[in-house]
Each structure stands twice: as structure tokens, then as C-alpha cells.
Homo-oligomer: A and B are copies of this chain.
Amino acid sequence: MLDRYEVRTDLALEEKEKFESDDVEVKGVILEEDYDAEREIQMTRVIIQTEKGARTMGKPVGTYITLEAPNLVVPDESYHREVSVRLAGHVKELMEKLGFREKEDCSVLIVGLGNRDVTPDALGPNVADQVCVNRHVVKEYGKYAMGMDVMNLVSAITPGVMGKTGMETVEIVRGIVEQTHPDLVIAVDALAARNSKRLNRTIQIADTGIHPGSGVGNHRNGLTRESLGVPVIAIGVPTVVDAATIVNDTMENLIRALETSDSLKGVGEVLRSYNGTEKYELVKELISPHLNGMYMTPKDVDEMVVQIGFTISEGLNLLFAGDRNEKNEGLSS
């Protein structure tokens, strides 16, 4: 409950979970799930269909696909390959929803958001560094000279963060979009999760772009079809938990602990009976001001970010390198 007021998550899946725990059915929101028991990969598709659903969820209308793959933390090449293939399939699924057709050229700009000097925020730059770009080659020689009928044009940029550029990311990306005319932007970013269990093993793919206040660095302006003029698919991986989340969790755990304690049972019940505003005030008091601008991240975040960055770039290379349609048969989900 408290988390409805205070706790930030960039995952639509986690927004949905909050309501489920309260047995509330959310109007205008569809949930689809699929579990691969052998590979232990959970796919969840949250489709926000109406503006009302969007308001309830606090996220814009659109499709949010989440892959949860606990073994992403293990350096198993064939497992990462499997996740790359699924990722490619889901990006293709969202592209088709956006109206992209097979057997058609597509020009895509991949944007690696985040700060390459801060380990848990370096996911986007890692991916942008590793995707195979070819736009300059196709522009120079033409696709027919390269023996291709259908050809994707791939370009990539790491725009940096506002504290180091002095510019909003959307200013930089919009300028590049207006000069190079991609049909689609794919923005890759590190996210904040609600639940520390999800860190570094979850990938969210959404057709709604990046929205203000999301990402590890908290973007001030979004990267969306409205701001860029072309559709934006967002690929995100939670790598941090906000400090406020930890405080909230502690509160929840404390209430639960008090309820099972003989002498303090009453206290837990009192706290639980608080209404939303009261709880909001209490949590605000509990969060030390020094925790603002701080995040929580696991100690092995460096290896996680490198591995998942490779998995995502491989998925994008599978999908776009060469001919999107012929090479990648069977990618449809």
C-alpha cells in the first residue's frame, strides 16, 4: 500500500503486482503470462489499453513485455543466446504492432542512455558500443550493390547524461533524428526496480518510449513518439533500487514483524490501519534527506551489466544485421 505513494519502479510488471496484491482488478489493463519451465524464463505482457488504465497504473498506454530469466546472472552462453533470440522476437512483435511490415527496409537508431562512468548506469552505452551499425556503409554503396533486397539501416548513439553534456538527452536525440531520419528509435536504459530480486535478471521491452523520471539517472524529459517524431521502443534492465524503496520495505517488514510479536501485535495493527496520507507522511519522515540521490546496487553489478549488455546487443544484431525477415525466421513470438 505504502508503495503506491512513495516507491518508484520503472517496471510495468511491478505496477501491476501492487494491485494484484490487493486483489483489485484494473480496468483497461490486460495481463498475459507464459512460463518456460525448462529454461525458467517467465514472460509477462502488460497491455495498458485505455487512458483510465494508464492513470491507474501511472504508466502510458502501450504494451510492456517483461522477460524474467534468473539464470541471466550465470555466464552460460547458450542460455544468453536463448534470451537474445526471445528479445529479438519481442522487439519484432512490437515493431509489427507499430505498423512495420516484413520485407520492408527499416532504418533504426539505437540510443544507449545512461552514464558510462557509473557501473549500474552503463548498460545503455555498453549496448550501443556493441551493436553492428551499417548505415554509413549502405549510404556509401547502396543495398543492391551489397546483394540485398531488403536491408535494415542501423545507427547508434550514446548521448551521455545531462550533468556531463549540459543538454537534455531529448535535445540531442531529436537533433540526430531530424538529421538522419530513422523510422524507429530503440532506447536502451538501466532502470530502477521495486524489488531487489529483479535486479540484473529482468528485461522490459515497451512500445511507449522512455518517460520523464524513469531510468537510473531520472530523465527530465522523455524520449517518445511525441518528442522525437518517430516511434520509440524502450528496452530496460533494472540495475538499481531507489533508497526510498529500501526504507519502505523495512517499514512493511516491521509491520509484519510487529503483527507476529506477542507484546507488539497491537502496534502492527495500528500502523496497518493508517490511511494512505498518514502512511505517506510517516515514510517521508523516515527517509533521511541524505538518501535522496542515492541508489542501492549489488556488488557484482559490473559483471551483470557486461553480460546483459552483450545479450541485448546480440538480440538487436540478430534482428537487424543483414535481412531482418529472412535471416530471423522463427523469431515471431
Contact = CB atoms under 8 A, between A and B. Distances in A.
Contacts of A285: 253, 257
A165 B293 contact: no
A179 interface: yes
Interface stretch (A25-33, A43-51, A263-271): A263-271
B197 A172 contact: no
Given A115-B302, A156-B164, A295 B297 contact: yes
Interface stretch (A4-12, A60-68, A132-140, A323-331): A132-140
Nearest to A301: B118
Given A176-B167, A302-B118, A270 B270 contact: no
Contacts of A157: 159-160, 165, 167, 172
A172 B166 contact: no
Interface in A142-195: 153-160, 162-168, 171-172, 174-180, 195
Interface string A246-260: 110111011001000
A133 B75 CA distance: 12
B282 A257 contact: yes
Contact of A295 (B168, B174, B296): B296
Nearest to A293: B299
Interface in A270-316: 270-271, 282, 285-288, 290-291, 293-303
Contact of A299 (B216, B241, B249, B257): B216
Oligomeric state, in copies: 4
A158 B159 CA distance: 8
Contacts of A132: 75
A119 interface: yes
A286 B256 CA distance: 9
Nearest to A254: B286
A69 interface: no
Contacts of A155: 165-167
B197 A290 contact: yes
Nearest to A77: B314
* Listed residue (A160, A165, A298) with the most chain B CB atoms within 10 angstroms of its CB: A165
A257 B283 CA distance: 10
B246 A291 contact: yes
Nearest to A249: B288
A42 interface: no
A243 interface: yes
Contact of A180 (B167, B270, B293): B167
A1 to B, nearest CB: 16
Contacts of A175: 172, 174-180
A263 B254 contact: no
A177 B171 CA distance: 10
11 contacts: A75-B132, A118-B299, A155-B166, A157-B165, A172-B179, A176-B176, A253-B287, A253-B288, A264-B267, A267-B267, A294-B298
The 8 A-B residue pairs with the shortest CB-CB distance in the complex, in nearest-first order: A175-B175, A133-B166, A155-B166, A135-B166, A117-B302, A175-B179, A267-B267, A196-B290
